Chain A
Amino acid sequence: MRSAVKMISVLTIIGFISGAVLVLVYTYANPIIAKNRKKEMEKAIFRIFPEGKTYDKRTFGKDTVFNVKDKKGSLLGYAFLAKGNGYQGAIEIMAGIKSDLKTLAGIEILESQETPGLGQEIASDKFGSQFKGLEVAPEIIYVKNVEPSKPNEIQAITGATISSRAVVTILNEKIEVIKKDLGKLK
């Protein structure tokens, strides 16, 4: 009986101290982590819209759209987060669409766990820059091993078709939603 009491009390004390230590760590680190996340998002938005100076947030149900404006305050386009499954894990993309909702301004991969050296190339400039000025109507299409010939086509990465397709599908699905959300306003 006495040993049971000792076991329980020792574990309880250790648990309490651990909890207290973690509360301290959490209060120190959490604001910094939130700031890092925000900074990363802002960096992605302004890389997609290099002339962008300010942005404001707008929510439609679950979706968030960032209205990006230049220094005179006129609307450049909309940035939005798109998330979906890749080859090995979730892919999170920040994408920008121009204010006419017809062409993309660009994309930035925020998070991905694709195969290094193959699928991870979706985060490279070579793949990403294909989305600059890409037409989104009727939808984005990927082609394999041939040069894209239509204004809504991109070339998939050799050896990483699944990752390339994932990016295209994630974008197409989200663009559909964003178009509807923004269309309601007009």
Chain B
Amino acid sequence: MNNPSCAGCSKEFCKGLWRENPILVQVLGMCPTLAVTTKALFGFSMGMATLFVLVSSSFVISSIRKLIPPQVRIAAFTVIIATFVTAADYFLKANFYAISKELGPYVPLIVVNCIILGRQEAFAYKNSVLRSLVDAIGMGLGFSIMLVLLGSIRELLGFGTIFYFKILGNGFEHWVIMALPAGAFITLGFLVGFFNWVKMKWRRPLY
């Protein structure tokens, strides 16, 4: 990363994973985070769909950012984001029909995921294409990793499996609450608490 146009790119990349993690620190995009993480696979699919939309819209918006008048930037962002979301929705329906049925309305709802609009407004509209791409990939991965983690914990305790692999034997009584919305809030609360505790222990920002 010695390219001068991308000074500090590794920092832009890592901030999404840790220091400014969309879920743990910014607490953005809570609707899909809480709704689709009943199983690890759904969290993973949602993470990948969001990553795709985030990277593509950041790329387009940062490349035409000088052409968009500031007064109509939000309208322009929304149209571009909605285009990619619809494309992602149709792609999932065509190629991963079963998963797309499980995710239901939450794929089209990526349009209103504040991480995506937030990154366009806070980053892509002001930075070069390369930096915006790195930022989007970092944020998207940070989001996806947390969704998979949440999904794995909830699937393990709620169904005894992770990615459908049986981990806890038949003697394990499933915690039904983990599959319900309450389980999402409880798990998320513990995760945020745990990561804050780790951060305090280290006493220095990790990037």
Q: Known interface pairs A14-B80, A21-B87, A22-B87. Does A118 touch B176 (Cβ–Cβ under 8 Å)?
A: yes
- Chain B residues 139 to 197 lying within 8 A of chain A, measured CB to CB, are 158-159, 174, 176, 179-180
Q: How far is the CA of A26 from the CA of B83 in the complex (A)?
A: 11
Question: Which of chain B's residues have a CB closer than 8 A to the CB of A29?
Answer: 90-91, 93-94
Interface contact A26-B90, CB-CB below 8 Å:
yes
Additional 12 contacts, C-beta under 8 A, given A25-B87, A25-B91: A3-B69, A7-B72, A14-B80, A18-B82, A29-B94, A32-B95, A33-B97, A40-B97, A115-B180, A116-B38, A117-B159, A159-B176
How many residues of chain B get a CB closer than 8 Å to chain A's CBs? 28
- Chain A residues 10 to 34 lying within 8 A of chain B, measured CB to CB, are 10-11, 14-15, 18, 21-22, 25-26, 28-30, 32-33
How many residues of chain A get a CB closer than 8 Å to chain B's CBs? 26
Interface contact A11-B86, CB-CB below 8 Å:
no
Interface of B is mostly: helix
Chain B min CB distance to A108 (Å)? 14
Question: Which of chain A's residues have a CB closer than 8 A to the CB of B101?
Answer: 111
Question: Which of chain A's residues have a CB closer than 8 A to the CB of B3?
Answer: none
Q: Known interface pairs A3-B71, A22-B87, A115-B180. Does A10 touch B76 (Cβ–Cβ under 8 Å)?
A: yes
Residue A130 lies at the interface, judged by CB distance under 8 Å to chain B: no
- Chain A residues 107 to 157 lying within 8 A of chain B, measured CB to CB, are 111, 113, 115-118
Give B residues with C-beta under 8 Å from A. 38, 67-69, 71-72, 75-76, 79-80, 82-83, 86-87, 90-91, 93-95, 97, 101, 104, 158-159, 174, 176, 179-180
Residue A71 lies at the interface, judged by CB distance under 8 Å to chain B: no
Give me the 10 closest cross-chain CB pairs, A-B, nearest first.
Answer: A117-B179, A29-B90, A32-B94, A18-B83, A116-B179, A29-B94, A36-B97, A117-B176, A25-B87, A7-B72
Question: Which of chain B's residues have a CB closer than 8 A to the CB of A28?
Answer: 90, 94
Q: Which of A18, A21, A36 contacts B94 (CB 8 A)?
A: A36
Q: How far is the CA of A111 from the CA of B102 in the complex (A)?
A: 9
